[in-house]
Amino acid sequence: MSAPYRLAEMTTHEAADAAARGTVVVVPAGALEQHGPGMALGTDLVRAEAVVGRVAERLAGRVVVGPSVPVGVSPHHMVFPGTITLTTTTFAAVVREYVTSLHRHGWTRFLVVTGHGGNNAALTTVAQDLLVSHPGVQLAWSPLTSLAGDAVAALDPSPVHGHSGEAETAQMLHLAPHLVHTDRLEPGTTTPDQLDDVSRAARHHAQPTLTLPYDRLSANGVLGDPRRATAEDGAAIVTAIVDRITAFLEEWPAA
């Protein structure tokens, strides 16, 4: 029987051995937030856990899957029922304390794979702080969909697309089709002319960043047209993501 690769399934002796072998701890992070009328609140975590699981299977014995962080930084979605948010301070503290706890047992390399873009800024802050507080630690983090820009472009998505749109829906149709209510999928904001002047400014990448609540961008919480997604598209996106994260881990030297 193969050795477990999920930390929660290891004994303390197995954990000590994994740390001594220089394994990388990979932590899935997500969110509990609206994903339009047709997809589950836990979409971001489902995708992150699935990707991390596939990476771990490819790199058998070289990574340990740490406990997930299921709730993320989602204040911009709070107008939509069911959404739960952590503050950036709380989310950052959880990640930092995962890392510093495991560092005490000998792990030095950590990768957080986040299915939710709202977590990105906090992850960058934690990584910066650890350079000073724990110089022996290397903390990397990775998004999902943006790693597969070529596969997303192949879908020919709407001029405005993103949250709960073609790419996310395709991934869920591939990974967890039982959580996609295809009869309830509906387009959200798909073209710039559907945005007001402030929202168009917030979506423009060649200027200062402006954060807005999501209902300013889309009345139903969707950017794009999820009805156009297919499971085959999702498989291509997920494969590209897994390939690129795996390649990074294979090339990541120990300190």
What pLDDT sits at residue 227?
98
What pLDDT sits at residue 193?
85
What pLDDT sits at residue 218?
94
| Per-residue pLDDT of the chain in tens (255 residues, 90 and over written 9) | 567 899 999 999 999 999 999 999 999 999 999 999 999 999 999 999 999 999 999 999 999 999 999 999 999 999 999 999 999 999 999 999 999 999 999 999 999 999 999 999 999 999 999 999 999 999 999 999 999 999 999 999 999 999 999 999 999 999 999 999 999 999 999 998 887 766 766 666 667 888 889 999 999 999 999 999 999 999 999 999 999 999 999 999 986
The CATH number given to 7-246 is: 3.40.50.10310
Cα-based distances in Å from 230 to 179, 180, 191: 14, 11, 21
Identify which of 163, 67, 66 has the alpha carbon closest to the alpha carbon of residue 116: 163
Please tell me the distance from the alpha carbon of residue 126 to that of residue 141, in angstroms, as a whole number. Answer: 10
What pLDDT sits at residue 211?
87
List the chain domain ranges. Answer: 7-246
What pLDDT sits at residue 4?
82
What pLDDT sits at residue 59?
97
Q: What is the pTM of this model?
A: 0.95
Q: Pairing mode, if any, of strands 109-114 and 63-65? A: unpaired
What pLDDT sits at residue 205?
66
Tokens describing residue 17: 């051995």
What pLDDT sits at residue 222?
97
What pLDDT sits at residue 198?
64
